[in-house]
Amino acid sequence: METNGAAAENISVSGDGWWPDVANLGRALESLTGLVSGPGPGDTELVQALLAVSWKMQVRSLQNAVETAQDAATRVQNLLTPVAPGLPPGPSGDAALAMAGDPLRFIEDTTRQYGGFAGFKLAGENVVLVSDPKLAKEIMIDQSSIFIKSGTALFPGSSLAGNGLLVSDGDVWKRQRRLSNPAFRRAAVDTYGKAMVDLTNEMLDSEWRPPANRDLFEDFKLLTLRIVVSALFGNSGKEGMEEVVPAITAAFEFFQRRATSMLIVPEWFPTPDNVQYTLSVEKLDRAIYRLINDRRKLLASASKGDAGTEGRFRDLLTQYLQVRDDDGTAMDDQSLRDELMTLMIAGQETSAILLSWACLFLAQHPHMQERIAKEVDDVVGGADVSSAHAGKLKYTEAVVLETMRLTPPAWIIGRCACAATRLGGYDLPAKTTALISLYNLHRDPKHWPRAESFDPDRWLPGGDAKPPKDNESYWPYGAGPRVCIGEGFAMMEGILVLATIFRRRKLAVPSGGRIAQPQPVITLRPDGPVTLNISSR
């Protein structure tokens, strides 16, 4: 029979997320059962009972039970958890409960008290919290072969993303990255600019027809999904959009519920939610495999002499189908599927969050909206906004950069040391997790004058921020070999979408409206609707 600790551990690792509130629940239950009932009932029964209870009761009531045990559990853990040798100084005890309660506050308090390199236990794991720019760089670049993704599993839902770029490591990752890079070169990204502008204009002419009050986060989730689907599949994506968009939206919603829920039921367990999710993924898989097969046939007929067919497709799918490894092998269907799915996931939510925060900042600073509109007039004149203009829309770009400084969509980057290593003067044991807090780094007054102010001008010539490429306190897209492959795509999208919006619309916070605050789950998303009033320019 397992120990109570192992049973609780089962709960905490049975989902494939890393997020500490899940682990927190396992730990708290462990402490709770240990405190309340000593050795207690058989552990298998304990796990079954907890799972059964969790479906029937609201998760919230379970959370209440955990919170009741919180103080006692923390006290006991503080006494029992040894400080790991080799870690820099940091909060004592296990930080799981504090981290689950209010992660931003915990990391801010920890950094304030212990500086840019702090060590602690998190759900039993050794963790270092890093917001020192040099150490962040060392982890992401100089020691990138030691600090890997495996073990941190930043992304829940491997069944959706498979073994795609975002989560793979080692040779699998190396090959996929090599094969993916060409599709994200500048020239390739330029070809997606038209869809970015056209789809934004479609939104402005329909849901955003003034006067209207809209939840921008919801609208941007759909817009960025349509943009990435169009970049991946071109026109056939448009045809398949009806099938792909609702299925992936359902899968995303599932993960959203998971990321904000206290208890993760394993995906294989047939809860109504899990069944619905599985059906969505199956539907999505069918649609993606059909798009792959159809395109393969078309490309084959092109190579047999149907001149012109090949040239019609300039989307990511075609690039992936045509790319060959050094030994001449192409991507197999499973890798292709995983990569396409990964790009849909990685490219959608982060961009939707960026656009939502940018519009919220701008709604609070109307004169900045005017500056964007004027810049677009000056640069674009009467023409359509296009990728050719993106590099010249410097103020709009500064708004994007400043938004990602204050509210980085990827607010924390996780790595796990695959071997013992030396960092910042400490000998970290193998399996230490490093959490690089971009949120802290980007707001540190040591590196940023007026750190808490939204001030795009700091990025313009004469401003006090170094350009992003030379700025070691600014890593919204990460750095080193695992740097975001979609950085160019995301910058182009952010600039073109904002330029298209503010050329035609004004945004304002409705009177008495609530301003959404950052909610740190896997990404730094708004904690509620981003409702803004839309009027004509």
Annotated binding site for heme: 484
Q: Total residues at the site for ligand HEM (CB under 6 A)?
A: 24
Work out how close the CB of 274 gets to ligand HEM at its nearest, in angstroms, rounded to a whole number. Answer: 26
Q: Does 489 bind ligand HEM (CB under 6 A)?
A: yes
403: Cβ contacts below 8 Å, ≥ 6 apart:
354, 357, 358, 361, 454, 494
Q: Where in 367-469 does DSSP place strands (E)? A: 412-417, 421-423, 426-428, 433-437
Binder among 229, 354, 376, 385 for ligand HEM (CB under 6 A)? 354
What string of H, E and C letters represents the secondary structure of 142-178?
HCCCCEECCCCCCCCCHHHHCCCCCCCCHHHHHHHHH
75: Cβ contacts below 8 Å, ≥ 6 apart:
none
Tokens at 452, concatenated: 């808490």
> Angle at CA 28, nearest 5°, toward 27 and 33?
100
Work out how close the CB of 530 gets to ligand HEM at its nearest, in angstroms, rounded to a whole number. Answer: 16
Which residues from 190-249 bind ligand HEM, rule CB under 6 A?
228
Q: Does 492 bind ligand HEM (CB under 6 A)?
A: no
Work out how close the CB of 495 gets to ligand HEM at its nearest, in angstroms, rounded to a whole number. Answer: 11
DSSP one-letter code for 528: S
Instruction: Give me the residue whose beta carbon is nearest to ligand HEM.
Output: 486
Q: Where in 27-166 does DSSP place strands (E)? A: 117-122, 125-130, 147-148
Binder among 8, 95, 100, 343 for ligand HEM (CB under 6 A)? 343
Reply yes or no: is the peptide bond before residue 211 cis, omega within 30 of 0. Answer: yes
Which CB atom, from 28 or from 179, has the smaller least distance to ligand HEM?
179
Q: Please give the backbone phi and psi of residue 133, each rounded to the nearest 5 degrees, phi first.
A: -60, -40
The window from 193-201, 293-301, 483-491, 507-515 that contacts ligand HEM (CB under 6 A) reads 483-491
Annotated binding site: 484
Q: Does 351 bind ligand HEM (CB under 6 A)?
A: yes
Q: Does 409 bind ligand HEM (CB under 6 A)?
A: yes
Q: Does 482 bind ligand HEM (CB under 6 A)?
A: yes
The b-or-e profile of 310-345 (16+ CB within 10 A means b, else e) is beebebbbbbbbeeeeeeeeebeeebbbbbbbbbbb
Which CB atom, from 162 or from 347, has the smaller least distance to ligand HEM?
347
Which CB atom, from 7 or from 197, has the smaller least distance to ligand HEM?
197
The window from 41-49, 50-58, 341-349, 454-462 that contacts ligand HEM (CB under 6 A) reads 341-349
Q: Where in 421-461 does DSSP place strands (E)? A: 421-423, 426-428, 433-437
Number of residues that make up the chain: 537
The window from 84-92, 111-119, 380-388, 480-488 that contacts ligand HEM (CB under 6 A) reads 480-488
308: Cβ contacts below 8 Å, ≥ 6 apart:
302
Q: Does 490 bind ligand HEM (CB under 6 A)?
A: yes
DSSP one-letter code for 477: T
Q: How far is CA 517 from CA 257, 356, 407, 490, 527, in A?
A: 18, 11, 10, 22, 6
Tokens at 447, concatenated: 């590196």
Q: Does 376 bind ligand HEM (CB under 6 A)?
A: no
Q: Does 62 bind ligand HEM (CB under 6 A)?
A: no
Q: Does 77 bind ligand HEM (CB under 6 A)?
A: no
The window from 33-41, 81-89, 203-211, 346-354 that contacts ligand HEM (CB under 6 A) reads 346-354
Q: Does 417 bind ligand HEM (CB under 6 A)?
A: no
Which CB atom, from 118 or from 232, has the smaller least distance to ligand HEM?
232
Work out how close the CB of 352 gets to ligand HEM at its nearest, in angstroms, rounded to a whole number. Answer: 9
Q: Does 143 bind ligand HEM (CB under 6 A)?
A: no
Binder among 136, 146, 166, 376 for ligand HEM (CB under 6 A)? 166
Q: Does 395 bind ligand HEM (CB under 6 A)?
A: no
Q: Which residues of this chain interact with ligand HEM, rule CB under 6 A? A: 154, 165-166, 177, 228, 342-343, 346-347, 350-351, 354, 409-410, 413, 476-478, 482, 484-486, 489-490
